[in-house]
Amino acid sequence: MVILIQCKDRVGLVAAITGVLAARNLNIVSMREHVDVQANVFFARIVSAQETAVEELQLQLKAVLPVDANISINPEPEKKIVLLVTKEYHCLSDILVRNHFNTLGASVQAVIGNHAVLQDICERFDIPFHFITHENKSKETFEQELMQQINAYAFDYIILAKFMRILSPSFVQQFALKIINIHHSFLPAFIGANPYRQAHSRGVKMIGATAHYVTNDLDEGPIIEQQIIPVNHTFGIEDMIKAGKEIEKAVLAKALKLLFEDRVFVYQNKTIVFEY
Amino acid sequence: MVILIQCKDRVGLVAAITGVLAARNLNIVSMREHVDVQANVFFARIVSAQETAVEELQLQLKAVLPVDANISINPEPEKKIVLLVTKEYHCLSDILVRNHFNTLGASVQAVIGNHAVLQDICERFDIPFHFITHENKSKETFEQELMQQINAYAFDYIILAKFMRILSPSFVQQFALKIINIHHSFLPAFIGANPYRQAHSRGVKMIGATAHYVTNDLDEGPIIEQQIIPVNHTFGIEDMIKAGKEIEKAVLAKALKLLFEDRVFVYQNKTIVFEY
Amino acid sequence: MVILIQCKDRVGLVAAITGVLAARNLNIVSMREHVDVQANVFFARIVSAQETAVEELQLQLKAVLPVDANISINPEPEKKIVLLVTKEYHCLSDILVRNHFNTLGASVQAVIGNHAVLQDICERFDIPFHFITHENKSKETFEQELMQQINAYAFDYIILAKFMRILSPSFVQQFALKIINIHHSFLPAFIGANPYRQAHSRGVKMIGATAHYVTNDLDEGPIIEQQIIPVNHTFGIEDMIKAGKEIEKAVLAKALKLLFEDRVFVYQNKTIVFEY
Amino acid sequence: MVILIQCKDRVGLVAAITGVLAARNLNIVSMREHVDVQANVFFARIVSAQETAVEELQLQLKAVLPVDANISINPEPEKKIVLLVTKEYHCLSDILVRNHFNTLGASVQAVIGNHAVLQDICERFDIPFHFITHENKSKETFEQELMQQINAYAFDYIILAKFMRILSPSFVQQFALKIINIHHSFLPAFIGANPYRQAHSRGVKMIGATAHYVTNDLDEGPIIEQQIIPVNHTFGIEDMIKAGKEIEKAVLAKALKLLFEDRVFVYQNKTIVFEY
């Protein structure tokens, strides 16, 4: 079983937690722990080989932890997700393939596109696709339609798999820490539109991609994963875009894996990622 | 021998150039060529296994190339450099060691520091060190003293090996495309002071370093080389600085190698780097 | 247009070739050239922005090059490929998706599997799938059936996208330099079966993948592309296999891109790869 | 303070250990734990912000742990090391520079060379250098002289910083898990002599380096750190050697940092490395 704990730090926390586990005869196979010393916050991810009565364990842990402790035992092992897309197929297809072969670690409920071009690939994988255009309507109306369609599904996360519309703060607030974006640059370089154009113009020797939680500030949410690839003077903007798609796909896949395995904690504007 | 050519592009350029070489019985071992299609500029780096009369070859190439052509034959094989430093030893020492064992591909003429702490390491390697403080004097006076000391040496490049003072445009203009800096971030992310503080605060998952030519705009000159290393939530600012030093050292070493082997062309605000 | 040349090296080769091109008013946008100095062999890949009469150009180049010269002008821009697979979906799906969206740079003619499990994914993408079991028949019979089915298609390359049977020398000889394999290790480490088991047992800190031409010696053909990812003590064999699939997929995709763009020359047991 | 524990695994181990720490009012800042499930062995590295009476803590931990438990509290914070070298300066100089500026995390006691060429650089850093030739004597005699000189110093580790002689099993046994080597390949590829020649001949697209403990089997000891860099067809053997030196230097530096910070456990023929 997996146990996630986030709370104020104090002496004896690990002893208290693991004492509860030992009393229930749970052997700890893997334990990752982090203390943000400045903020005095404690984070832990504990994996036990055995299972036990979850509610009892929850109560026992609650009894030994600070009152504000955030305890999550056996979080949903298979997350449900809804994808928002525009026209680019590379991230979506990668997710659909993994979903199809049951290796995504999550279950794709539906795909919503503000263009219809990706409907075909979704149908090939028997995934519901909803076309909601942003044209000829206010942003407010567009987002209300999105929201209504999203809320027709049970979901843990909304994945922006190259969704090229900026969501308003009011939309984002409805789904706090539930929206994940893949940004086509090594943030915080090249915030905003046309990062590859910016990168080409600046003559950088590497381009990257960043998977992050979406918050109210554009491209400023907590970063989950970043990777880069080298480029050089022979890369035109189109070549950078092509190369960028490979890294976007890889970074989003990695971030989702971490997320779906419950390895990511968010605190203030940063993540604690208990990687392998 | 090495031949570097930069000129307006036109049909037949390679044929014209290599025709001259073939007529002189020079075999081309390696040829790298790039055309900036938008700007219509041609760049080439040609290596021949044989030597020939340089002045004659220069005239013959001039005769077949556009009038504005920039032709450099057998550029100085061992560049002379002057280093500017402040307090950090890691880049300087790496350069001094390579210089000492004759693997730098350049010859260190002198080191100038605005603090005296690195005098000792220079003396251990028999390299002249000049201490020029920036304190209690105007920036103008400081830079005049620097300039005077630099100009006491013959040099091809001035290397800012963690020199922590911003040079004024008038200083930089005196040494156009002759000053190389190592910046402690993956530019254009975290321009300016305290990039590691910025990186830590933003919660990035990678930090980098950038070696670039110094131009009037701070941290905006043509980029020669960039590399990154992964970081995570366990890295405090001090840990990032330590990790950053490793990558700064490596990036500057790589950039200098490229530079000293005459593999770098500059055009507008970008570099063409003919790597291995 | 793209021109590929491989021949004995001699003085004046580039001048002769580019002289022909200039006389036909062809502007060279990109030219990559390599001389294997030990073997005295010349390789070139030239890209011109203009087109011209191919047969005439071929004759003119032939006239100025050594008799044994291998000249290829405008090689098939869209290669045709046949895939051989067993049970693993990750490489196949990646190729099918790119093929479907016309970004593979090649056209998948058919997939042949020695198991039937990947038939479904092929059908979802309207790609013919042929199931040819290796069971209850001799290797010779199995390979004859394979060969017959492969030869039912026009193809430039046979891609072993995780085909887990070893092909006999007589099979391989029929398709010299036309079979590409993705090997699940950083060759030449862990040649043969179960490389991840070997890697886990050895306690390596990185695992890799290698795309290579198939020759008679198992896992010994010319290497096109290699990449690695870090692993650590927390990775069990299963985790290594999962991580390995990501890198296998990426390495095969990169190798095929290079191949389909005519950037790979083979000489003796090595490749010359004119990358970006 | 730092606490290292290695013992048989059992339920309640973490609770027992951290209970002892909590009772002494020690707050855990960082805790890394690993269970080798197959071997049923538990490894932990615990960092506390506070100090306490070491001997008392040792006894208390001993009381709650299996009898065979290996407990190390506050291991020597500044390791002492002796270096063995031959002729190559790159790894040695890097270590000497860090040692000189007190950032090595260890203290270099002496350097022993089987050639004299590196004596000068040692003297420049005021480090004792002992020249012990291997010529005109038996391997046994040579190693006895080495051993005698090494044992003239107090040391925690012997670092083979490009020491090009193979040490005999009897020598190695005297210093079990105390000898660290940097091997110039990505082990287990290219075991033995001339790995760059092997790599060049095989046409690999990456070369690497491996830092490992030395055991009786040549190049077969537990691996601490590995890294790679890309190479291509333009790299001759000499270019590979040059590029390899950069990665050897970086890998050895990283491995020593991990070692000196007590982040490396050895079990059977593998390491558990609690990285950042």
pLDDT at D10: 93
Give the type of residue at D274: F
* CB–CB contact B188 A204 (8 Å): yes
pLDDT digits (tens, 9 = 90+) for C18-36: 999 999 999 998 899 999 9
DSSP-assigned letter for residue D27? P
For D166, other C-beta atoms within 10 Å of its C-beta total 13
In DSSP terms, C212 is beta-bridged to: C181, C223
Q: Does A89 touch chain C (CB under 8 A)?
A: yes
Q: Does B31 touch chain C (CB under 8 A)?
A: yes
* Chain B residue numbers touching D97 (CB-CB < 8 A): 89-90, 93-94, 97, 121
| Stretches in chain B below the pLDDT threshold 50 | none
pLDDT at D216: 83
* Chain B residue numbers touching A35 (CB-CB < 8 A): none
Q: Which residue of C has its CA nearest to B21?
A: C12
* Chain A residue numbers touching C276 (CB-CB < 8 A): 231-232, 234-235, 239
Question: Per-residue pLDDT for C73 more than 80?
Answer: yes
Domain ranges of chain C: 2-73, 79-273
Q: Does D123 touch chain B (CB under 8 A)?
A: no
* CB–CB contact A11 D22 (8 Å): yes
- Per-residue pLDDT tens listing for chain A (276 residues): 999 999 999 999 999 999 999 999 999 988 999 999 889 999 999 999 899 999 999 999 999 999 999 999 998 889 999 999 999 999 999 999 999 999 999 999 999 999 999 999 999 999 999 999 999 999 999 999 999 999 999 999 999 999 999 999 999 999 999 999 999 888 777 777 788 888 898 899 999 999 999 998 777 899 999 999 999 999 999 999 999 999 999 999 999 999 999 999 999 899 999 998
% of chain B at pLDDT higher than 90: 87
**Dihedral angle computed from the Cα positions of residues D72, D73, D76 and D78, in that order, rounded to the nearest 10 degrees:** 120
* CB–CB contact D97 B94 (8 Å): yes
Q: Residue B255: CB partners within 8 Å, gap ≥ 6?
A: B180, B182, B211, B224, B225
Provide the chain D residues 38-57 that lie in CB contact (below 8 A) with chain A.
49
Q: Does C30 touch chain B (CB under 8 A)?
A: yes
CB burial of C218-249 (b: ≥16 within 10 Å; e: otherwise) equals: ebbbbbbbbbbebbbbebeeeebbebbbbbbb
* CB–CB contact C205 D189 (8 Å): no
What SS3 state is found at B258?
helix
- How is C93-124 classified by DSSP, letter by letter? HHHHHHHHTT-SSEEEEEEEESSSTTHHHHHH
Mutation choice for C interface testing from B5, B8, B14, B229 by most C CBs within 10 A: B14
Q: Does C269 touch chain D (CB under 8 A)?
A: yes
Among partner residues C34, C187, C224, which is closest to D234 by beta-carbon distance? C34
Q: Are D15 and D65 in contact (CB under 8 A)?
A: no
Q: Residue C2: CB partners within 8 Å, gap ≥ 6?
A: C45, C46, C47, C73, C74, C75, C262
Domain C79-273: CATH class, spelled out: alpha beta
Full strand arrangement of the beta sheet holding C106-113: C129-131, C106-113, C79-85, C157-160, C179-183, C206-213, C223-230
* CB–CB contact B250 D246 (8 Å): yes
* CATH of the domain spanning B2-73: 3.30.70.260
Q: Which residue of A has its CA nearest to D26?
A: A11
Q: Which residue of D has its CA nearest to B88?
A: D101
Distances (CA, A) of D47 to A29, D59, D70: 20, 18, 17
Q: Does B269 touch chain A (CB under 8 A)?
A: yes
Q: Does D233 touch chain C (CB under 8 A)?
A: yes
D55 Cα to chain C: minimum distance (Å): 31
Question: Per-residue pLDDT for C219 more than 80?
Answer: no
Among partner residues D187, D188, D233, which is closest to C34 by beta-carbon distance? D233
Q: Which residue of A has its CA nearest to D46?
A: A33
How many B/C residue pairs have CB atoms within 8 Å? 62
* Chain C residue numbers touching A94 (CB-CB < 8 A): 94, 97
Q: Which residue of A has its CA nearest to D23?
A: A12
Q: Do domains B2-73 and B79-273 have the same CATH topology?
A: no
* CB–CB contact A276 C232 (8 Å): yes
Q: Does A229 touch chain D (CB under 8 A)?
A: no
3-state helix, strand, coil in chain B (%, to 5): 35, 30, 40
Please state the separation of Cα A229 from the chain's center in Å. 21
Neighbours of chain B (3+ CB pairs under 8 A): A, C, D
- Give ∠ CA A178-A184-A185 in degrees, rounded to 5: 110
Neighbours of chain C (3+ CB pairs under 8 A): A, B, D
What ipTM describes this predicted complex? 0.94
- What mean pLDDT do residues C133-157 have? 97
Q: D90 phi and psi, to 5 degrees? A: -65, -45
Q: Does B187 touch chain A (CB under 8 A)?
A: yes
B235 Cα to chain D: minimum distance (Å): 7
DSSP-assigned letter for residue A9? -
Can you tell me the distance from the alpha carbon of A265 to that of B79, in angstroms, rounded to the nearest whole number?
51
* CB–CB contact C11 B22 (8 Å): yes
A72, exposed or middle or buried, with CB in 10 Å at 0-12, 13-18, 19+? middle
Question: Please, what is the end-to-end C-alpha distance for chain C in angstroms?
Answer: 17
B50 Cα to chain A: minimum distance (Å): 29
Q: Does C203 touch chain D (CB under 8 A)?
A: yes
Mutation choice for C interface testing from B8, B27, B38, B274 by most C CBs within 10 A: B27
Mutation choice for A interface testing from D14, D34, D272, D275 by most A CBs within 10 A: D14
* Chain C residue numbers touching B49 (CB-CB < 8 A): 37
Q: Does D195 touch chain C (CB under 8 A)?
A: no
Give the confidence band of C190 by pLDDT, cuts at 50, 70, 90: confident
Q: For residue A191, what are its two tokens?
A: 């915030």
* Chain D residue numbers touching B97 (CB-CB < 8 A): 89-90, 93-94, 97, 121
- Per-residue pLDDT tens listing for chain D (276 residues): 999 999 999 999 999 999 999 999 999 988 999 999 889 999 999 999 899 999 999 999 999 999 999 999 998 889 999 999 999 999 999 999 999 999 999 999 999 999 999 999 999 999 999 999 999 999 999 999 999 999 999 999 999 999 999 999 999 999 999 999 999 888 777 777 788 888 898 899 999 999 999 998 777 899 999 999 999 999 999 999 999 999 999 999 999 999 999 999 999 899 999 998
pLDDT at B193: 74
Q: Does C6 touch chain D (CB under 8 A)?
A: no
* CB–CB contact B226 A204 (8 Å): yes
What SS3 state is found at A259?
helix
* Chain B residue numbers touching D250 (CB-CB < 8 A): 246, 250
Q: Which residue of D has its CA nearest to C32?
A: D234
Q: Does B16 touch chain D (CB under 8 A)?
A: no
A117 Cα to chain D: minimum distance (Å): 38
Catalytic residues of B: 219
D168 Cα to chain B: minimum distance (Å): 31
Can you tell me the distance from the alpha carbon of B6 to that of D257, in angstroms, rounded to the nearest whole number?
46
D114 Cα to chain A: minimum distance (Å): 41
Please state the separation of Cα D9 from the chain's center in Å. 26
User: Which is the catalytic residue, given D120, D126, D217, D219?
Assistant: D219
Q: Does D171 touch chain B (CB under 8 A)?
A: no
